[in-house]
Structures are given as C-alpha cells and as structure tokens.
Structure 1
Amino acid sequence: MFDEISPTYDKLNHLLSGYQDNRWRKSAVKYLQFLQHEYPFILDLASGSGDLGAEFLKLKPQKIFSADLSLEMLKIDRQKLPEDINYPVKAEAEHLPFKTGYFDLCGIGFGVRNFENLDSCIIEICRVLKPGGRFVTIEMFKPAKSGLTNRSFRLYFEKILPKIGNTLSSSNFAYDYLFESVDNFITVQSYENLLQKNGFKILRSKNNFLGIVNTVFAEKM
C-alpha cells in the first residue's frame, strides 16, 4: 500500500494535516535539543519518506538508520538525507537487524499504529536503545473521550479525509485504511502505559491536536 501512494505521500500528508505535520516534527526535535543529550546514532523507524529523519539532522548525528518495509518510501528517504550519514534498511519493527544497545535515539512519526504486535515492537525498540536512550513517538491516537472531539474526528477521518486522499493519490483504499488504523488503535494514555510496562519512563507527553495527535517522549530505564 505504501509503495503505491509513495509519489504523493508527502504532499497529501501536509495537506490533510492542515500543514501542521512538519511543525509537530520540528517541535519534537526542539524538545530533544532542550534535553541536552547527544544523539550520535539515531534510528528513524517506520521512516516512510524521511521527513522525521530530515529533522533529526539538527541533532548532528553521526549516523541515521532509516528503517521501513516500503522500498519506494526508502528511495524518497535517500533523497532527503546526506549519503554519508544515511543508512536506509528494509526492516520490520518486530525483528530489527541491529545489535543490542546501539542507538541513542529512536523516533517514529505516524507509524506506530501500523505495527501488528505493538508489545513486541516496543520490546525490540527498547533492546536496540542504549540505557538512557530516548524514544520519541508522534502519532494519531484514538480519542480518549466521546463527545464533540470524537464526533469531529469521525466526521473528518471517516468521511472527508478518505475521499480527498484516495482521489489525489489515485488509490482506492489507502486513506480508508488511515481512519481504520486510528479508530482501531489505542489511546495515548494506554500507549504510555505500554511503554512503562516495557522498560521506559515517560519524560513528556504533548497534545498537539485535540488529544488525537500526540508526541510522547520516553527514556529507556
């Protein structure tokens, strides 16, 4: 699916987020800089087309490994990051081809909800991070409460967004999947609990948009 929509992926994400997705990435990196921690080895997991990895360049890493299952997305990723520090890898989150305790930072931008076994993926992320390593997640979570926010979410993501996304991407189903993936996902509170259960402590959780788009910063204990 992601190979199919890769040519229009960036433009559509910017459009459908109201051009806020880049701001959320920049804000995440700014907080990582505020923590005054060094990040020589970074894993951009579920990297997609490399927008988050491009922001990670501000952290002055020695190496950024871009890991994704879509080869077409990784081709776009290669165009955004310098060749001398970028290492694109086709890999799945449950079985990362990296040694234990290698990375100083792992980041995932809008990819966690696509993982089939979230528990196993978090355990694997914890494994490849150094003790004290940081893990940042930017994601669309299921709204925690019913009411106006939930109804607005369902109207936009179920009715409006799929029509725009599928039309502009020439896909018959890709952006229908987006609603389903968010609607079937967990709340940000449940996600934080999952991180804490699997070896992380929460440093900060930031609500970017209506409690749906959140950035969660964690540290490997």
Structure 2
Amino acid sequence: MTDTFQTSRSDDTASFGFKEVPRTQKQSLVRGVFDRSARRYDLMNDVMSLGIHRAWKDMTITRANPRPGEVLIDVAGGTGDLARAFVDRAEERRARNGGDPARAVVADINYEMLEAGRKRGEDERLSWACVNAECLPFGDATADCVMIGFGIRNVTDRARALADMHRVLKPGGRFLCLEFSHPTTRALSRVYDAWSFNAIPRLGQLIAKDRDSYQYLVESIRRFPNQDAFKREVEEAGFKNVSVTNFSGGIAALHTGWKI
C-alpha cells in the first residue's frame, strides 16, 4: 500500500491540498471549491471515475442495508444521491414487507450543493440541512445509519466530525464512510497518479471551467490517510467492529463501523 503524503504542520494549520493553511480558513476555502463546482459536480464525478463511482455507491448502499422506517443522516451529502438511493432501497423492502417509509437528512455545509440536489426533484422522504459535519445539530441517538461519501477528507477536524457522527447514532446503529483512498499496488498507484494529476485538473478546466478546484480535489485525495490509518481514526471515535473494503484496488475504500 502506498504511503500517505506527509508534511509537517502545527496544530494551528490544516491541509488544503498540498498546502498548509490556517485552520480557521480551511472551511471557507473548501466551501469555495464546492460553490464553484456544484453545478457540474455530478457530471465531473462520472468523468473523474469513468462512471465507476456509481458502482461504489451501489455497493455502499447494499452494505448499509436500508430498512423501512429507518432514519439516515447523510453527512456531506451534497446533491443527495446516496440519500435518495438509501430511501429507494428501503422502499423496495417496504413494498414486500410493509412498514413505514425510511427518511434521510442530507446534511452539507455547502448551500450551493444542496440547491443543486433540490433541483433534481423534491422528495418528501428527504430533508436538507446546511450544517457543519463537526457540530451536527441533531440530538443524541437519533439516526439508525450515518453515512458520509467522499466528504470526510474535506473536513477540518476529522476526529471531531467522527465523534459527532458517533454521537447521533442510536445504539446498534451503523456508520459507513466511502472515500477515495490509496491503491494497494505500486503499479496501480502509478497509473492512478498519472490520471489524477494530469487528466483530472484539465478535465475540470474543460468541463467545469475550474482547474483549481479539481487540482485541490486531487491533492486532497493524495493527502488523505491510507486505509489502516483511517481505520484507527474511526476506532478512536468510538466505533466498534470497524472493517475496510477496498473498491477498484484501493482507489476507493469503504470503512464501516457500529455504535455498540
């Protein structure tokens, strides 16, 4: 497994791509990235992953095992694709076995992303909340499932965000984090880096007219801890029975855990 990009920093700074910025500035810088990319975000996800992200998300929903009547908090939920998939999968089970509809809260710090999601069509099973992952405005033990897809690497204080996601879960609730990670072989890592650093920023400029945001996204992926290191962070937040599933040779990884 490749090593995570390392650089020294103080407690007063946070990584923003390959740069170190004051911790107090990272949130606004990340918000700017997604303000600029919101309109083309879903299209660029297809382009950047060659459409494979859809399969990763489908496998994530299968692992989440949605059930009728459950409540999901989709942290950094953006345009709500995971939340919609969750409630749709629960509805399929409800059609067979009965029960109440599942509900999901799409929680994201970026208003423009939420607005892009709303424009895809209102759904009474979904609610939308412009909130910070590090201080979720939900009561203790209110969710059956908490999910975060491709968002944890943009959080300033991961430990605080993970702890708050643990707090809002009911006992017996499940946590799923889908994130770009580190290829498990050197050969794949070389190919992946070549694609990421050469093609993705150029495609960002061509499709979204925004090279800088996609340069940041590539760099933030490279700076994110490897699978084992992030597994330890999830465990330190209080989650039990934490497991890691690599997708596409580690290009993405799904970390799952339980509140017991």
Equivalent residues in 2 for 1:1-221, closer than 5 Å: 1-33=33-65, 40-57=70-87, 58-60=89-91, 61-80=101-120, 82-143=122-183, 147-202=186-241, 204-221=243-260
Query: Quick one: which amino acid aligns to residue 129 of structure 2?
Result: V
Query: Quick one: which amino acid aligns to residue 93 of structure 1?
Result: A
Question: Aligned partners of 1:21, 1:208: CA distance in 2, in Å?
Answer: 10
Question: Aligned partners of 1:52, 1:203: CA distance in 2, in Å?
Answer: 21
Q: Is residue 50–residue 76 contact of structure 1 (8 Å, CA) maintained in 2? A: no
> Which stretch shifts more, 176-185 or 205-214?
205-214
Give TM-score, length-normalised by structure 2. Answer: 0.78
SS in structure 2 at match of 1:175:
helix
Q: Is residue 39–residue 105 contact of structure 1 (8 Å, CA) maintained in 2? A: no
Q: Is residue 136–residue 164 contact of structure 2 (8 Å, CA) maintained in 1? A: yes
Cα distance, 1:80 vs. partner?
4.3
Q: Is residue 143–residue 187 contact of structure 1 (8 Å, CA) maintained in 2? A: no
Q: Is residue 64–residue 145 contact of structure 2 (8 Å, CA) maintained in 1? A: no
SS in structure 1 at match of 2:164:
helix
Alignment deviations for residues 24-54 of structure 1 (CA, whole Å, 9 cap, x no partner): 1111112222xx8666111011011111111
Query: Quick one: which amino acid aligns to residue 57 of structure 2?
Result: R
Cα distance, 1:135 vs. partner?
0.7
State, as a whole percentage, how many aligned pairs show the same letter: 28
Question: Aligned partners of 1:115, 1:74: CA distance in 2, in Å?
Answer: 17
Structure index of larger Rg? 2
> Which stretch shifts more, 105-114 or 136-145?
136-145
Alignment deviations for residues 84-139 of structure 1 (CA, whole Å, 9 cap, x no partner): 22110000111100011100001111111111111111001000111111111111
Structure with higher RCO (Cα < 8 A, 6+ apart): 2
Cα distance, 1:156 vs. partner?
1.3
SS in structure 2 at match of 1:173:
helix
Query: Quick one: which amino acid aligns to residue 258 of structure 2?
Result: E
Cα 1:149–1:42 change in 2 (3 A) is: same
SS in structure 1 at match of 2:250:
coil
SS in structure 1 at match of 2:188:
helix
For the aligned residues, what is the CA RMSD? 1.8
Alignment deviations for residues 49-94 of structure 1 (CA, whole Å, 9 cap, x no partner): 1111111111245321111111111012224465322110000111
Question: Aligned partners of 2:67, 2:125: CA distance in 1, in Å?
Answer: 19
Question: Aligned partners of 2:138, 2:161: CA distance in 1, in Å?
Answer: 13
> Which stretch shifts more, 37-46 or 166-175?
37-46
Q: Which runs of 5+ in 1 are unaligned?
A: none
Cα distance, 1:172 vs. partner?
3.3
Q: Which runs of 5+ in 2 are unaligned?
A: 1-32, 92-100
Alignment deviations for residues 166-217 of structure 1 (CA, whole Å, 9 cap, x no partner): 2210113011011110111101111111111211123542211121201122
Question: Aligned partners of 2:85, 2:67: CA distance in 1, in Å?
Answer: 16
Cα 1:134–1:171 change in 2 (3 A) is: same
Give TM-score, length-normalised by structure 1. Answer: 0.91
